[in-house]
């Protein structure tokens, strides 16, 4: 079994990736969804306090918010992060039918260009072949399908340059591309079967079909178990949540066709939007337990508290350390213990993802 953590190229995912580079191997192969490849400047925020970091500049010793270059997601930069470890590269295209109209396109200029130019998309996918450790992904989904002939030619071209290629399809395109799956994917290739937010249990007919067809490629079941439309305060205040369906891992054992599974490491399948929290919102921590295959939910439902709600969240987590971290090895718990204040929303996204990846790494 292999696990495929699905990573969008936002700052929090890249930060966790760099901090935990040792977890990636032939058993844990990340899928990186590139949304933008142009670097930009961003104010630096202290992860432990959630406050801006200042620096003194000039003869008058004035204080300025410190900046850094972020968002550089060229293949060369990603290769420097992953240190020649294997990874899937998916040049991300987005559908407004799925993600809505409140999208911050300024943060997704590359994706927007790829949406509108299939030749540019093919060019970007071909460029992945220049890196021997990177597996080029051709992604088929609603609003971005291809005719069978064009897809077959593109896959053949990539196969001539790369030891492994991946075809990522959403579940509704399985029948249309079945002939390609059977005849054009090699044993070194991958079929990334993406069911999105649908419960794995409801896809038994499709999984049975994959079991029956003669597919040489390694089939990976991708899913997004944390639903995009759920608000933080809808999760349990303190305890196991059934709002995150973690059953994809079990399906690997139930269906011989499946070689592994993948998800967003406890985060949502979310892209940049214009909406902000204005400092308000329900503070939440979602901590994964691999052995029980569940998420523990810790929530302060008072949205007026905003980040101050993490005082209560941290207290509940520390009450549960006997089973959350009995051996005192959890990297996420160590991050929580080091927080000088409450952090910011990204701090806790980092903690959720760190906990999930570390649990899989320690147990897979």
DSSP states of 88-144: EEEE----HHHH-S-B-GGG-HHHHHHHH-HHHHHHHHHHGGGSTTEEEEEEEBTTB
Mean pLDDT of 265-289: 87
Q: Which stretch of 33-47, 149-163, 195-209, 335-349 has the lowest confidence by average pLDDT?
A: 33-47
Beta bridge partners of 166: 137, 190
d(CA 196, CA 103): 19
pLDDT in tens, 208-246: 999 998 899 999 999 999 999 999 999 999 999 999 999
Beta-carbon contacts of residue 247 (< 8 Å; ≥ 6 apart) = 199, 200, 201, 293
Mean pLDDT of 291-301: 98
Residue 52 or residue 245, greater confidence: 245
Class of domain 2-228+242-269: alpha beta
The residue whose two tokens read 């406050």 is: 51
Provide the token pair at 341.
């204040």
Sign of CA dihedral 21, 94, 152, 191: positive
Mean pLDDT of 343-348: 93
- Residue 43 confidence (pLDDT): 61
- Residue 264 confidence (pLDDT): 98
Q: Which stretch of 49-63, 171-185, 336-350 has the lowest confidence by average pLDDT?
A: 49-63
Question: What are the sequence ranges of the domains in the chain?
Answer: 2-228+242-269
d(CA 28, CA 193): 17
């Amino acid at each position: 079994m292999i696990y495929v953590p699905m990573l969008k190229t936002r700052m929090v995912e890249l930060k966790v990736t760099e901090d935990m580079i040792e977890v990636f191997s032939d058993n844990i192969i990340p899928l990186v969804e590139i949304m933008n490849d142009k670097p930009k400047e961003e104010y630096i925020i202290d992860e432990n306090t959630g406050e801006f970091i200042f620096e003194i500049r000039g003869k008058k010793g004035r204080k300025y918010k410190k900046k850094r270059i972020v968002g550089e997601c060229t293949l060369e930069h990603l290769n420097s992060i992953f240190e020649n470890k294997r990874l899937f590269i998916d040049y991300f295209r987005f559908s407004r039918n799925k993600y809505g109209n409140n999208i911050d396109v300024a943060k997704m200029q590359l994706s927007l260009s790829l949406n509108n130019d299939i030749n540019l998309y093919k060019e970007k996918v071909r460029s992945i072949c220049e890196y021997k450790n990177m597996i080029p992904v051709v992604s088929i989904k609603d609003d971005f399908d291809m005719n069978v002939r064009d897809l077959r030619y593109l896959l053949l071209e990539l196969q001539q340059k790369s030891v492994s290629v991946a075809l990522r399809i959403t579940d509704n395109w399985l029948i249309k591309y079945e002939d390609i799956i059977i005849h054009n994917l090699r044993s070194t290739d991958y079929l990334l079967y993406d069911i999105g937010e649908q419960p794995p249990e409801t896809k038994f007919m499709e999984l049975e079909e994959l079991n029956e067809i003669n597919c040489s490629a390694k089939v990976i079941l991708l899913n997004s178990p944390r639903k995009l439309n759920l608000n933080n305060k809808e999760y349990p205040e303190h305890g196991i949540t059934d709002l995150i369906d973690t059953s994809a891992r079990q399906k690997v054992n139930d269906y011989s066709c499946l070689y592994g599974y993948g998800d967003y490491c406890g985060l949502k399948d979310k892209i940049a939007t214009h909406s902000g929290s204005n400092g308000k919102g329900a503070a939440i921590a979602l901590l994964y337990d691999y052995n029980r295959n569940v998420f523990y939910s810790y929530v302060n439902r008072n949205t007026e508290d905003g980040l101050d709600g993490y005082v209560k969240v941290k207290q509940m987590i520390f009450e549960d350390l006997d089973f959350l971290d009995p051996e005192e090895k959890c990297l996420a718990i160590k991050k929580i213990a080091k927080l000088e204040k409450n952090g910011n929303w990204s701090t806790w996204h980092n903690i959720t993802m760190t906990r999930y990846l570390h649990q899989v790494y320690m147990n897979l």
